[in-house]
């Protein structure tokens, strides 16, 4: 079948390559003509220079995948597609949109008889090779229409052993894509997925940091400290110099925490045992925030996921005024002066 692709960044381009590999044809567009030119030469890949041309090159009913930055840019493309496409066509928002935007965009498009699928897409730079995990929301008929595309992009059932108890016919979920529910459901599930990702990443990071500082007893002497700092009670218990890359490696086989994130940790530490080229200013890109807001709205506790989010904020020193207030208070009640930094 045919797929239109709007947005040829890392993700969009790699999705196209998985789709054409299965014999589908892709009509591709990007606001940057060079990106179009770069891909147009590839198998089964036709470049176009406008959304109108994209619509023209696709046979109705069309399926168009939008893979551009979430927020205003996605909204702009959706609104333009509402004018360009026709009733019966399907638009797939594969980016990192807030699920609430999907609900809104879905209404915009449905006024023209166009259906929106929201599709959370996980896999990062490795997806071209491993396939992408797809979490889909929207109209069931539109999902059925686009299913061959989803199947090409997803990893397929052979990517993991089947869960015991699952036999017979292979379910969608086992192939690596899932129709999760009505409009917004896909990005809701992807949002929570990323919230979990933040928590798992922070779990690994905090653990490595504890290992890294297990030598503190060789740096601080027993009883050292003063009125401003807690002395270390038991320096003899903290005299380990762990080889962190080797520890990450050994955990990869047989341990309970075996995971793709651990595999990547091992790669990162293999490349750079001290991670010294990083400053430790950790970005966040929306889903982690939205997950915590969802927990708060639902009234359910998410202390781990939210702690992971706040640690990222703190890594960018966004707690500065709070910290100054604490130092100021300590000076007020105890006459404590701040200790100079190292």
What positions carry a catalytic annotation? 190, 197
Cα–Cα distance between 308 and 75 in angstroms, integer? 29
Q: Using CB under 8 A, which of 27, 39, 132, 152 touches a second copy?
A: 132
Segments in 64-161 forming alpha helices (H): 72-84, 99-110, 127-130, 140-153
**In the complex, what is the shortest distance from the CB of residue 235 to a second copy, in angstroms, rounded to a whole number?**
9
- Sheet of 45-47: strand order equals 45-47, 25-29, 2-6, 63-66, 90-93, 115-122, 133-137, 177-181
By residue count, the chain amounts to 342
Number of residues engaging a second copy in binding (CB under 8 A): 179
When asked if residue 229 is in the footprint of a second copy (CB under 8 A), the reply is: yes
Distance of CA 334 to the CA centre of its chain: 45
When asked if residue 108 is in the footprint of a second copy (CB under 8 A), the reply is: no
Considering beta carbons, is residue 4 or 199 the nearer one to a second copy? 199
Considering beta carbons, is residue 88 or 286 the nearer one to a second copy? 286
Considering beta carbons, is residue 61 or 182 the nearer one to a second copy? 182
Cα–Cα distance between 108 and 129 in angstroms, integer? 35
Footprint (CB under 8 A) of a second copy, residues 265-294: 265-272, 275-276, 278-286, 288-289, 291-294
Compose the 156-195 pattern: x for residues touching a second copy by CB under 8 A, - for all others: xx-xx--xxxx----xxxxxxxx-xxx-xx--xx--xxxx
- Compute, in degrees rounded to 10, the torsion defined by CA atoms 248, 253, 257, 262: 40
User: Which of the stretches 35-43, 46-54, 59-67, 256-264 binds a second copy when contact is defined by CB under 8 A?
Assistant: 256-264
When asked if residue 94 is in the footprint of a second copy (CB under 8 A), the reply is: no
Say which residue the tokens 């196209």 belong to: 16
Cα–Cα distance between 116 and 78 in angstroms, integer? 9
Q: Is 161 helix (H, G, I), strand (E, B) or coil?
A: coil
Q: Using CB under 8 A, which of 41, 59, 111, 341 touches a second copy?
A: 341
Contact 57, 86 (CB under 8 A): no
When asked if residue 41 is in the footprint of a second copy (CB under 8 A), the reply is: no
Q: Using CB under 8 A, which of 38, 40, 82, 264 touches a second copy?
A: 264
Considering beta carbons, is residue 65 or 85 the nearer one to a second copy? 65
Q: Using CB under 8 A, which of 2, 38, 53, 71 touches a second copy?
A: 71
């Amino acid at each position: 079948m045919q797929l239109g692709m709007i947005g040829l960044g890392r993700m969009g381009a790699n999705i196209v390559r998985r789709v054409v590999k299965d014999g589908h044809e892709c009509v591709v567009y990007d606001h940057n003509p060079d990106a179009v030119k770069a891909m147009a030469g590839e198998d089964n890949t036709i470049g176009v220079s406008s959304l109108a041309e994209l619509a023209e090159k696709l046979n109705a009913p069309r399926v168009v995948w939008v893979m551009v930055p979430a927020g205003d840019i996605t909204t702009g493309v959706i609104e333009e597609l509402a004018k360009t496409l026709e009733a019966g066509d399907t638009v797939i928002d594969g980016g990192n949109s807030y699920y609430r935007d999907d609900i809104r965009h879905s209404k915009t498009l449905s006024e023209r008889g166009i259906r929106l699928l929201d599709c959370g897409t996980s896999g990062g730079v490795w997806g071209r090779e491993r396939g992408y995990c797809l979490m889909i929301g929207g109209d069931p008929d539109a999902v059925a229409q686009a299913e061959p595309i989803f199947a090409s992009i997803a990893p397929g059932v052979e990517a993991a052993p089947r869960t015991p108890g699952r036999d017979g016919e292979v379910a969608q979920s086992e192939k690596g894509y899932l129709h999760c529910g009505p409009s917004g459901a896909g990005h809701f599930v992807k949002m929570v997925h990323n919230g979990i990702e933040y928590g798992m990443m922070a779990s690994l990071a905090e653990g490595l940091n504890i290992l890294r500082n297990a030598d503190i007893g060789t740096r601080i002497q027993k009883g050292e400290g003063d009125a401003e700092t807690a002395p270390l009670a038991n320096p003899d218990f903290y005299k380990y110099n762990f080889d962190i890359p080797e520890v990450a490696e050994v955990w990869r086989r047989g341990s309970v925490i075996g995971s793709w994130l651990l595999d990547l940790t091992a790669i990162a530490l293999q490349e750079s045992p001290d991670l010294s080229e990083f400053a430790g200013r950790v970005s966040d890109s929306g889903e982690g925030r939205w997950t915590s807001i969802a927990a708060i709205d639902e009234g359910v506790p998410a202390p781990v996921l939210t702690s992971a989010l706040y640690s990222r904020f703190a890594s960018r020193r966004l707690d500065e005024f709070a910290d100054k207030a604490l130092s100021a208070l300590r000076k007020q009640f105890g006459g404590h002066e701040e200790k100079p930094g190292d």
